[in-house]
Structure formats: structure tokens, C-alpha cells
């Protein structure tokens, strides 16, 4: 709601309002992200077009299996296709659970002309950024431990965390405050909630110019948009080898990766990213080129149109 756009957005749970939107739009196809239960609701409201179920990710793999298994009767009855952004564990579940529905797997699109590097000041100390919710799968605990250990090498290190405070789990936030205090990180951490997306290009550009990076500590990811945003702004990325991240992060080419839970490896890769200036610049250049060639809007449009024609 805080991000203005040039296309219509409707936010409602009311059946009457929803039916008005469906009737007024006269849509031939509706792409539903995650919420397969709305297929039957929309049918009951008089929609007779096609449905495509898009899964960007559920977080933990066991949750993905549970949700997609529960969805089988509804999806088999109503869906004309399944879509995911080349996330290996989701694609595997599609093949296992839905062998008779067409599957489409292609990268999300990214507007690297609009969301790109901005001229900013160069901070005198490295900044490590983190984007996510205060919940277990985003793995904020590992971020705090990595930040704590890196502070021994970089005394002025700043930890910049972007979140939506409305989506945090209260018990997780309480634990976050306790662990941050135990690790003596409060003076280093800056928490920012609900930053407008248009402002993030300035933050990512600043992190990149600081000599720091964006870190993704997630246990499982689908196709996180924040990584693409950072890469387009010449902000290097260090990420766990969490499945869907592989489409954007190629180790030592478009970014750096480490094994989930291996703090020692994370520290080695982080220090190399900060101190090895030649590799850092190579990664920044390669990441931007990768975004342009693999996540371009025209490429996505061609894939999307092909999907529509196919069904």
C-alpha cells in the first residue's frame, strides 16, 4: 500500500467488492500467488476464466510440501497451469504432485533501468544490510552471529536491517532483542521498517559504496527480489545456498554463497568480499550484467505470453 504504481491495485476481502472487480475486469486469466483456496471462491462469484497458480515460495520445504499436498483437490479441479521462478524444490513438488498440469518455470522479471545504482556518498565504514521478517526461516540469528564476529575485524561495522514490523512474530522479536543485547550489537544495528521500495535503491547503492554487502541468511528461499535489487545497484550479495537463490547468485561470479550454518565459511567469504577489491569489482560488474541478461522484462514477457498461448 505504501508503494505507488501505475497499474490498478485492489485490496479487499469482501465478496461483493471482489465480484464487482471480477465482473468489471472481464478477465480471461487470473494468476493466483499461493492462495489456491480463492479458486473456489472466485468460481462461486461467477468467474469462469482460467487460473494459473504461481508459487514464489513458502519458506521451509516441509511447509511447501504440506501446502501443495493439501491443495491437490482444488488445484486439479481448477488450475490450467502452474508457475514458479525456477525454484528447484518447488519445481520438484510440481512434478511429483501435479504430473498432469502444465508447468512453467522461468525467472521473475526485473526493471534494471528503473531500479538501479544511484550516485551516493561513500561511507567511511562497511555496512552489512539484511532484508526480511523477524521469523525463523529468514534466520536473523545467523545474521547477528556473523555481524558480531565481523565486528572484531571491522570496529566501525554497521548492521542495517530492513523489515516490516507488522509481520514480525512477537516471540521472535523478543528473542532478537535479547540476542542483540547479549552480543553487544545494539549500537551497531539500525532497524528500518516499511521503507518505500523506491528508496531502497539509494540504500543498496550506499551499502555497495561502503565496501559492505547485502547478506541473505535464509534457510530456504524462492526467488528473493531483494537480491536482484541489490545486484542492480552494484551492492554485492553474500547468501546461503538456499535453493532458489542459485538463479541469481553464482559463487565468485555474480555474488558469494556459503553453506547454511557454516559461520566460519561465511566470515571467510565476507572478508574476501570486503578486502579483495579486484574480486569485489568483478562481482559487482558480473552481477549487474547477469540481471540485465537473465531477468530482463522483454525475456519475461516472451515467456509469459508463451505460457498464455500454451493454455
Question: What is the secondary structure of 5-48 as a DSSP string?
Answer: -SS-------HHHHHHHHHHHT-SEEEEES-TTHHHHHHHTT--
Question: What mean pLDDT do residues 239-256 have?
Answer: 91
Helix (H) or strand (E) holding 193: strand 189-193
Report if pTM > 0.75. yes
Q: What is the per-residue pLDDT across 133-182, written as a single tens digit (0 to 9) for each?
A: 999 989 999 999 999 999 999 999 999 999 998 888 889 999 999 999 99
The Cα-based distances of 182 to 139, 178, 284, 301 in angstroms read: 17, 6, 34, 49
The confidence score (pLDDT) of residue 84 equals 95
Q: What is the per-residue pLDDT across 250-274, written as a single tens digit (0 to 9) for each?
A: 999 999 999 999 999 999 999 999 9
d(CA 281, CA 36): 43
Contacts with 63 (C-beta within 8 Å, 6 or more apart), sequence order: none
The confidence score (pLDDT) of residue 131 equals 96
pLDDT band at 292 (very low <50, low <70, confident <90, very high): very high
Q: Which residues pair with 127 in a beta bridge?
A: 158
Contacts with 75 (C-beta within 8 Å, 6 or more apart), sequence order: 36, 39, 53, 68, 82, 98, 101
The confidence score (pLDDT) of residue 166 equals 86
Q: Which residue has the higher pLDDT, 223 or 39?
A: 39
The confidence score (pLDDT) of residue 155 equals 96
The confidence score (pLDDT) of residue 2 equals 72
Q: What is the per-residue pLDDT across 21-49, written as a single tens digit (0 to 9) for each?
A: 999 999 999 999 999 999 999 999 999 99
Alpha helix (H) residue ranges in the chain: 15-25, 38-44, 61-70, 72-78, 88-97, 140-150, 170-182, 197-209, 225-232, 263-275, 277-294, 297-310
Fold type of domain 127-294? Rossmann fold (3.40.50)
d(CA 180, CA 148): 9
The confidence score (pLDDT) of residue 60 equals 86
The confidence score (pLDDT) of residue 39 equals 97
Q: What is the per-residue pLDDT across 180-199, written as a single tens digit (0 to 9) for each?
A: 999 999 999 999 999 999 99
Q: CATH 3.40.50.2000 in the chain, residues? A: 127-294
The confidence score (pLDDT) of residue 291 equals 95
Amino acid at each position: 500500500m505504501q508503494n505507488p504504481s501505475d497499474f490498478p491495485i485492489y485490496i479487499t476481502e469482501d465478496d461483493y467488492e471482489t465480484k464487482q472487480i471480477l465482473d468489471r475486469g472481464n478477465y480471461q486469466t487470473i494468476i493466483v500467488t499461493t492462495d489456491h483456496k480463492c479458486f473456489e471462491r472466485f468460481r462461486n462469484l461467477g468467474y469462469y476464466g482460467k487460473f494459473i497458480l504461481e508459487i514464489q515460495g513458502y519458506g521451509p520445504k516441509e511447509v511447501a510440501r504440506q501446502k501443495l499436498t493439501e491443495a491437490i483437490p482444488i488445484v486439479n479441479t481448477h488450475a490450467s497451469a502452474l508457475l514458479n521462478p525456477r525454484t528447484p524444490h518447488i519445481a520438484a513438488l510440481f512434478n511429483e504432485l501435479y504430473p498432469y498440469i502444465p508447468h512453467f518455470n522461468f525467472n521473475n522479471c526485473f526493471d534494471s533501468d528503473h531500479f538501479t545504482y544511484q550516485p551516493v556518498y561513500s561511507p567511511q565504514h562497511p555496512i552489512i544490510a539484511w532484508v526480511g521478517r523477524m521469523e525463523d526461516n529468514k534466520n536473523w540469528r545467523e545474521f547477528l552471529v556473523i555481524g558480531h564476529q565481523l565486528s572484531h575485524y571491522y570496529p566501525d561495522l554497521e548492521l542495517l536491517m530492513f523489515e516490516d514490523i507488522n509481520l514480525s512474530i512477537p516471540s521472535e522479536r523478543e528473542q532478537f532483542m535479547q540476542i542483540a543485547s547479549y552480543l553487544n550489537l545494539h549500537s551497531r544495528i539500525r532497524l528500518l521498517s516499511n521503507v518505500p521500495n523506491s528508496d531502497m535503491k539509494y540504500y543498496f547503492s550506499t551499502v555497495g559504496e561502503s565496501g559492505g554487502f547485502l547478506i541473505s541468511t535464509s534457510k530456504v528461499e524462492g526467488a528473493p527480489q531483494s537480491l536482484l535489487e541489490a545486484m542492480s545497484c552494484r551492492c554485492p550479495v553474500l547468501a546461503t545456498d538456499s535453493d532458489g537463490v542459485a538463479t541469481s547468485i553464482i559463487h565468485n561470479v555474480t555474488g558469494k554463497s556459503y553453506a547454511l550454518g557454516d559461520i566460519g565459511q561465511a566470515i571467510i567469504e565476507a572478508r574476501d568480499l570486503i578486502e579483495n577489491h579486484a574480486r569485489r569489482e568483478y562481482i559487482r560488474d558480473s552481477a549487474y550484467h547477469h540481471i540485465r541478461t537473465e531477468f530482463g522484462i522483454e525475456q519475461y514477457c516472451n515467456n509469459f505470453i508463451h505460457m498464455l498461448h500454451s493454455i
